[in-house]
Structure 1
Amino acid sequence: MKIALQVRRYLLLTAACFVYMLSKGQSSRPNIIFIFSDDHAYQTISAYGSKLAVTPNIDRIAREGAIFTNAMVTNSICGPSRATLLTGKYSHINGYTLNEKKFNTGQQVFPRLLQQNGYQTAWIGKWHLGNLPEGFDHYQILNSQGQYYNPQFISSNHDTTIHHGYVTNLITQFTEAWLDKRDTSKPFFLVVGEKATHREWLPDIQDLGAYDDKTFSLPPNFHDDYKNRIAAQNQDMTIDKTMRLKEDLKVHADYEKGGIYNRFTEDQKKSFYDYYENKVSKEFDEKRLTGEALVEWKYQRYLKDYLATAKSLDRNIGEILAYLDKTGLSKNTVVIYASDQGFYMGEHGWFDKRFMYEESLRTPFVMRYPGVIKPGSAINQMTLNIDWAPTLLNIAQVNIPQDIQGTSFLPILKGDKNVPWRKEMYYHYYEFPQPHHVYPHFGIRTERYKLVRFYDAGNAWELYDLQKDPHEVNNIYGSKGTEKLTAELKQHLKKLMIEYKDEDAFKILDAEGLK
């Protein structure tokens, strides 16, 4: 009897120790907040050296953690980038190659793996993947693209409710409300999905006219003639011809008949009318601009609206950081700020993204990880959005499935200077012809060169020396002296296609006789 009692006590003590160790292990695992914006250009962030705007709160994350100087995406478009975040896989593998489809949430997504390993998970804000999230304990997502003013949100209990206010502020309010009531016995993973800075760039009322005292310099390739670049010649995303005066720039906008302003309250509508009709539209009428002068005026208005919209984004990031400080969560919470891809701020005369040129290929990515990342670090290695999922799993001490195509960069964050890392990346864009008539293409980018193959209707190759031609206006494909370089890049491109199992792209190369 005594022996049995002793055994029982021993087992109880062992179980108690196990529970204690488990709870200690869970509490030591960091919380993770991933703030994910839409179409926010790195060229507009002061941490990246921007002369266009000052972004103190995004800069704070970089200053207290790391800035990634070569963060890139594998398919520069909104929904597919979110799908890549969730899966750690290329678009052709996760099945979400272009917008306005239904993402297969039943496949392996890393938040579900976190959920199964003791994390509480949530997604608040823009989702835009054609269905409802899975792998999350809680969600409160915008209906489809969402609206800037008085938007609809769909909650975990499937209620769809209109909430009064400005979308970026609402997302922050809902974020803090969820954090207040979360299960504090578990670490958490939270995605804050921002609508900003998506077209049509409606600023918060308090930010209307925030940049009216500035005149922005034109990018060096603003008046690009697209010489020797068939795809660039035939796109439909120029500030000149594609950007709409009425809808995009609010010149003589219709505040009464349909459209986005039907959502506005009378006070909100009055504020917009006073600014855009009585100031912006009046200026447009008085100037009577044509030709290049009109295009440059449109550029100035585009940047002023875009940056005013981004101003609220940065301010709300500051609000979230302040919340973490106030609650003590900042001590054990990884904070990441990233965009779904880059965006053109007049480079090549464009807005939007899609092309494999640098402004849309590269995306902002800053990360704070207390006790791990040395403040003020710069991560110069070529990281991809397929790397985000395995890195977050690694941070959460969850096994990384072998079929994830990305690689965890946690060793780099910890200062391992000997970790082997990629010297080249693979890209594949699909969406054509709508909405911007950008030919589908794939390509390879190395530290110095970029080789791109446009296919289907835009059957052409492009080659750039990024060291000599950082603005990508001189396509040297087929030029004398590039034969050996081109052959080597094609072989490397072929190897990446094999590595990432892009069979459809490989068939195109195979049809050209590239063995």
Structure 2
Amino acid sequence: MAGIVLAGMESGCCSAKKQQTRKPNVVFLFADQWRASSTGYAGDPNVKTPNLDQLAKESVNFETAVSVCPVCTPYRAALLTGRYPTTTGMFMNDIYLPDSELCMGEIYKNAGYETAYIGKWHLDGHGRSSYIPPERRQGFDYWKVAECEHNYLKSHYYEGNSPEKKFWEGYDAFAQTNDAQQYIRNHAKGEKPFLMVVSYGTPHFPHQTALQEYKDMYPPEKLKLAPNIAEEKKEAVLKELPGYYGHCTALDKCIGELVQTLQEQGLVDNTILVFTSDHGEMMGAQNVRPCLKQVPWDESIRVPFLLRYPAVLGKAGRAVKTPINTPDILPTMLALSGIEISKTIEGEDLSGLIKGDAKGDRAALIMSVSPFIPDLDEYRGIRTSRYTYVRKVDAPWLLYDNEVDPYQMNNLVGKPEKAELQKKLDEQLNAELKKIGDEFKPRQYYLDKWGYKLVKGGHISYVPGAEVQGPGMRK
């Protein structure tokens, strides 16, 4: 807590003692569609992420961080509630997260925190360009937010309690970062600790709108492609990858600037800093075209996850192979913040693991309840530190040993020599489903249960004027 104590020394010993017992600030930064493998510290031979690489050296690095349902709205709902998509009904994009759900912002606010949210929300379900009034903000007070926006060069947002549509200046990630830096400065010496969430839109497509100076860092002819990219997808991948990496490197700059601001304000030691993403990006792997996710392969479900908290964890980074899943994030952050974990939360508190307590492997549950991309059936699966196992409604689908097959090119399902392993993993999957009361039925069961009406293509309509849908609203 050196930075915090230093900031209060002029006020005398009493102030210093008060600072020593102050709860940590929380800065939670997350990208959109940034897959786990696309950082320098994770071994990507192409992408330039010097700031994240340095942060990884100072952080707990969860090498098997998993997106429970790899698409925008379901991830965000699971993040804020600590609950699974089949429990909340939040398994589709563009649906409304009910006020009845107890969320991260409310919990931290009730614990005496200032709360802030900057960037993409995608939990309101009232239209992607609509104003979100205070009563639908789930406990966040400082507010510069768009429901959903990926026009990075003309990116709208709403500020505070004004329904006036505003636009970030220039490339939105840079402007959002500047705003987040100012928020940190304004609250560095405040009476209360703060929770600030910054939700970036990049590197989600469109990739062509990455700034030219960043795209120019990645000439297509110099890019090395992974071996699980099919020959017929390579042309499309090489068209998209310079912009994808360009967005990543630009966002890396943003992370570096926020880290520097925390340093300048003396807040490093007593701030929990998290960097992660909502889900990954297939980018041609497994013969899945660029710009898609939702599928259960690692490029889609695995995300970066760095957590730095020097006052408790020290300043040396370390890697953790034990999986962390989306619903685990909130209870883990609450425990590290010294805040009671609500009984409604389903995720597991992994703060002991972060502090270095020994823990064996665990299974992170993954799911797609009602997928809305072509040729994808609903599935449930688990990702352990070593294995991926996925089942469709009527049969096993995928089994990979990720230690010997990191690009998941050898499906072991049905192989006699792996029968015992498959049986064990199937039992693990069943156990995880039982914990959350999910019987894994066909998608229509869940659509009927929660009262959703889909349009052609299998998704919730988000055109202006479309009916607002959320768990149980149409019943």
Find the counterpart in structure 1 of residue 241 from structure 2. 303
Find the counterpart in structure 1 of residue 62 from structure 2. 68
The whole-number CA distance in structure 1 between the counterparts of 2:221 and 2:312 is: 40
Aligned-partner SS, 1:33? strand
Aligned-partner SS, 1:43? coil
Aligned-partner SS, 1:343? coil
1:343-382 map, 5 Å: 343-350=281-288, 351=290, 352-374=292-314, 375-382=316-323
Find the counterpart in structure 2 of residue 82 from structure 1. 76
Q: How many residues are matched?
A: 415
Q: Verify: 1:164 aligned to 2:169, yes or no.
A: yes
Aligned-partner SS, 2:417? coil
1:454-469 map, 5 Å: 454-455=392-393, 461-469=397-405
Q: Verify: 1:204 aligned to 2:204, yes or no.
A: no
Give the counterpart letter for 2:304 in structure 1. P
Could you list the per-position Cα deviations for residues 404-446 of structure 1 after superposition, in whole angstroms to 9, with x for gaps in the alignment?
A: 11122221222223xx4552222111243x3444221101233
Aligned-partner SS, 2:303? coil
Find the counterpart in structure 1 of residue 451 from structure 2. none
Find the counterpart in structure 2 of residue 11 from structure 1. none
Mapped contact 2:29–2:276 kept (Cα < 8 A): yes
Question: Residue 153 of structure 1: which of 154, 157, 176 is its match?
Answer: 157
Q: Verify: 1:322 aligned to 2:233, yes or no.
A: no
Find the counterpart in structure 2 of residue 246 from structure 1. none
The whole-number CA distance in structure 1 between the counterparts of 2:343 and 2:25 is: 24
Question: Residue 144 of structure 1: which of 145, 148, 168 is its match?
Answer: 148
1:25-424 map, 5 Å: 28-131=22-125, 132=132, 133-159=137-163, 160-182=165-187, 184-201=190-207, 202-212=209-219, 215-223=222-230, 292=232, 295-350=233-288, 351=290, 352-374=292-314, 375-417=316-358, 420-424=359-363
Could you list the per-position Cα deviations for residues 232-261 of structure 1 after superposition, in whole angstroms to 9, with x for gaps in the alignment?
A: xxxxxxxxxxxxxxxxxxxxxxxxxxxxxx
Could you list the per-position Cα deviations for residues 263-287 of structure 1 after superposition, in whole angstroms to 9, with x for gaps in the alignment?
A: xxxxxxxxxxxxxxxxxxxxxxxxx
The whole-number CA distance in structure 2 between the counterparts of 1:136 and 1:470 is: 40
Stretches of structure 2 that go unaligned for 5 or more consecutive residues are 1-13, 126-131, 445-475
The whole-number CA distance in structure 1 between the counterparts of 2:418 and 2:443 is: 24
Mapped contact 2:361–2:384 kept (Cα < 8 A): no
Residues 49 and 109 of structure 1, relative CA distance in 2, 3 Å threshold: same
Residues 436 and 38 of structure 1, relative CA distance in 2, 3 Å threshold: farther
Question: Residue 425 of structure 1: which of 343, 364, 369 is its match?
Answer: 364
Find the counterpart in structure 1 of residue 387 from structure 2. 449
Could you list the per-position Cα deviations for residues 361-419 of structure 1 after superposition, in whole angstroms to 9, with x for gaps in the alignment?
A: 211011111122241211221111111100111122110112311122221222223xx
Which stretch has the larger CA shift, 163-172 or 486-495? 486-495
Aligned-partner SS, 1:335? strand
Aligned-partner SS, 1:196? strand
Stretches of structure 1 that go unaligned for 5 or more consecutive residues are 1-19, 225-291, 509-515
Give the counterpart letter for 1:68 in structure 2. F
Q: Verify: 1:483 aligned to 2:424, yes or no.
A: no
Deviation at 1:43, TM superposition (A): 1.7
Larger radius of gyration: 1
Mapped contact 1:342–1:362 kept (Cα < 8 A): yes
Mapped contact 1:223–1:349 kept (Cα < 8 A): yes
Mapped contact 2:234–2:284 kept (Cα < 8 A): no
The whole-number CA distance in structure 2 between the counterparts of 1:396 and 1:477 is: 42
The whole-number CA distance in structure 1 between the counterparts of 2:50 and 2:80 is: 28
TM-score by length of 1: 0.75
Give the counterpart letter for 1:324 in structure 2. L
Mapped contact 2:364–2:383 kept (Cα < 8 A): yes
Which stretch has the larger CA shift, 52-61 or 114-123? 52-61
Residues 222 and 163 of structure 1, relative CA distance in 2, 3 Å threshold: closer
Mapped contact 2:150–2:204 kept (Cα < 8 A): no
Residues 448 and 379 of structure 1, relative CA distance in 2, 3 Å threshold: closer
Q: Percent identical across equivalent pairs?
A: 28
Mapped contact 1:441–1:452 kept (Cα < 8 A): yes
The whole-number CA distance in structure 2 between the counterparts of 1:448 and 1:378 is: 15
Bigger share in helix: 1
The whole-number CA distance in structure 2 between the counterparts of 1:147 and 1:105 is: 29
Give the counterpart letter for 1:169 in structure 2. F
1:428-439 map, 5 Å: 428-432=367-371, 434-439=372-377
Which stretch has the larger CA shift, 478-487 or 405-414? 478-487
Mapped contact 1:494–1:506 kept (Cα < 8 A): no
The whole-number CA distance in structure 2 between the counterparts of 1:409 and 1:460 is: 30
Mapped contact 2:26–2:271 kept (Cα < 8 A): yes
The whole-number CA distance in structure 2 between the counterparts of 1:115 and 1:210 is: 42
Could you list the per-position Cα deviations for residues 161-201 of structure 1 after superposition, in whole angstroms to 9, with x for gaps in the alignment?
A: 12331111111122123233348110001101001111112
Deviation at 1:485, TM superposition (A): 3.1
The whole-number CA distance in structure 2 between the counterparts of 1:328 and 1:173 is: 18
What CA RMSD, in Å, does the superposition of the two structures yield over aligned residues?
2.6
Give the counterpart letter for 1:144 in structure 2. C
Aligned-partner SS, 1:398? coil
The whole-number CA distance in structure 2 between the counterparts of 1:41 and 1:191 is: 19
Give the counterpart letter for 1:331 in structure 2. D
Give the counterpart letter for 2:389 in structure 1. L
The whole-number CA distance in structure 1 between the counterparts of 2:17 and 2:211 is: 43
Give the counterpart letter for 1:415 in structure 2. G
Give the counterpart letter for 1:38 in structure 2. D
Question: Residue 470 of structure 1: which of 379, 384, 406 is its match?
Answer: 406
